[in-house]
């Protein structure tokens, strides 16, 4: 980019998309500052494991100069996939080939640490909760943070997730509840403490459903397993039942009753967890979400196109980040770069979101997905 002085770029959100964008910009000599509401990189649990695909997420890591390090840190064996029935019988089993690299798994925390470690010191400003974005569409924009801090910039990149504060400056859209809720359960030291679950899940993921409810279990690094209990239910089903999220014993009893027709072995995935459950009602933005173009604000990842957790979210966020950073490096003005980026990203995300609209209900369907195609990356 040949502008003088250089543009002041603010990225809101230190998730994979925001950090990857900052990293690729830095490789092209373009400075950006990342603002995140967390007090620091270890302020909260970063979530489970991610599969980064060769045709999107890995492309971004290649542009970031981090692909080989990703392969070193990721788990090739995590590409194993099992589909079970409620009795625990195996309906489908994919074991990755020794050289299979289409979508290896990596823990969210490990990926974030990889990206953070690749950035110039001081790039990320922790403890900055964005309240509002003001200023004219042509810029400059002003970021207003909790506590009264303000920052002026020429481009605001909203990488701040499902409930994006940046999105409010260009769009009235808000995520809608899909009718499906996840309840996350953790299992630690599974080899020693939960050997039956370790064997059931294998080195990758295992899923089962009966038409109304389902389970999705995934092996994480460090000998951990996370299980997502999937139900068609109101978003407030816990409080509607007179429970509180911390009522672990009572929630467990209710879940075991709901899964009473499943085998005792499968019910261990529901009730033998270590510690509390984490309530995760699934929301999505309207399919084909777009916004009025502004040369001084744009969005990437879930802030732009929140979809159900069906294996595309982080990959699209990384691809968005890559394409936006490259557009900024290749165009003469920020406005031209944002326009070029959105001309590619918005049609792609619209097509994907329409394909996945309502697909979250497939997670409780007894009809087997095309796992063979998924395993081959089609």
Spatial CB neighbours of 160, under 8 Å, sequence gap ≥ 6: 12, 13, 15, 18, 130, 166, 167, 303
pLDDT in the model for residue 261? 96
**Residue 108 labelled as part of a binding site:** yes
At 2-11, the pLDDT tens digits run 446 899 999 9
Task: Label residue 198 by pLDDT band (50, 70, 90).
Answer: very high
At 244-275, the pLDDT tens digits run 999 999 999 999 999 999 999 999 999 999 99
At 93-137, the pLDDT tens digits run 999 998 899 999 999 999 999 999 999 999 999 999 999 999 999
pLDDT in the model for residue 160? 97
pLDDT in the model for residue 309? 87
**Residue 23 labelled as part of a binding site:** no
Q: How does the average pLDDT of the chain come out, rounded?
A: 93
pLDDT in the model for residue 368? 58
Using DSSP's 3-state secondary structure scheme, residue 282 falls into strand
**Residue 254 labelled as part of a binding site:** no
At 10-27, the pLDDT tens digits run 999 999 999 999 999 999
Q: What is the DSSP string of 26-37?
A: HHTT---EEE-S
pLDDT in the model for residue 372? 39
**Residue 44 labelled as part of a binding site:** yes
CA distance 277 to 281: 13
Task: Label residue 369 by pLDDT band (50, 70, 90).
Answer: low
Tell me the average pLDDT across 162-166: 97
Domains of the chain, first to last: 9-78+100-174+285-363 (3.50.50.60), 177-283 (3.30.9.60)
Task: Label residue 48 by pLDDT band (50, 70, 90).
Answer: confident
Q: How far is CA 75 from CA 102, 181, 228, 312, in A?
A: 12, 28, 20, 18
Indicate whether 375 pLDDT > 60: no
pLDDT in the model for residue 3? 47
Give the residue with greater pLDDT, 374 vs 223: 223
Tell me the average pLDDT across 315-343: 97
Task: Label residue 236 by pLDDT band (50, 70, 90).
Answer: very high
Tell me the average pLDDT across 78-98: 94
């Amino acid at each position: 980019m040949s502008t003088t002085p250089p543009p002041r770029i603010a990225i809101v959100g230190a998730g994979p998309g925001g950090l990857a964008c900052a990293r690729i910009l830095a490789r092209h000599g373009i400075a950006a500052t990342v603002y995140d509401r967390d007090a620091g990189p270890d302020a909260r649990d970063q979530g489970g494991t991610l599969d980064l695909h060769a045709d999107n997420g890995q492309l971004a890591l290649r542009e970031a100069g981090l692909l080989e390090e990703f392969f070193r840190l990721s788990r090739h064996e995590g590409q194993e996939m099992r589909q079970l029935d409620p009795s625990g019988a195996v309906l489908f089993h994919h074991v990755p080939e020794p050289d299979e690299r289409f979508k290896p798994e990596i823990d969210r925390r490990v990926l974030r640490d990889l990206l953070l470690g690749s950035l110039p010191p001081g790039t990320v400003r922790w403890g900055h909760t964005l309240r509002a974005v003001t200023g004219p569409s042509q810029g400059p924009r002003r970021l207003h943070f909790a506590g009264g801090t303000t920052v002026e910039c020429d481009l605001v990149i909203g990488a701040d997730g499902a409930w994006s504060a940046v999105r409010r400056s260009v769009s009235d859209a808000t995520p809608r509840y899909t009718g499906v809720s996840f309840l996350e359960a953790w299992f630690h030291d599974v080899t020693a403490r939960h050997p039956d679950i370790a064997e059931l899940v294998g080195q990758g993921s295992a899923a089962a459903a009966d038409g109304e409810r389902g389970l999705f279990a995934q092996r994480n690094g460090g000998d951990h397993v996370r299980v997502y209990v999937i139900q068609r239910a109101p978003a407030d089903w816990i409080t509607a039942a007179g429970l509180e999220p911390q009522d672990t014993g009572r929630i467990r009893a209710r879940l075991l009753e709901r899964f009473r027709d499943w085998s005792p072995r499968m019910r261990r995935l529901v009730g033998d967890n270590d510690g509390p459950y984490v309530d995760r009602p699934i929301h999505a933005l309207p399919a084909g979400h777009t916004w009025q173009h502004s040369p001084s604000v744009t969005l990437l990842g879930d802030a732009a196109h929140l979809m159900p957790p069906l294996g595309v979210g982080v990959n699209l966020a990384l691809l968005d980040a890559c394409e936006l950073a490259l557009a900024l490096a290749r165009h003469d003005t920020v406005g031209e770069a944002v326009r070029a980026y959105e001309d590619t990203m918005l049609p792609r995300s619209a097509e994907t979101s329409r394909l996945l609209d309502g697909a979250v209900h497939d997670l409780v369907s007894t009809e087997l997905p095309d796992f063979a195609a998924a395993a081959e990356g089609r």
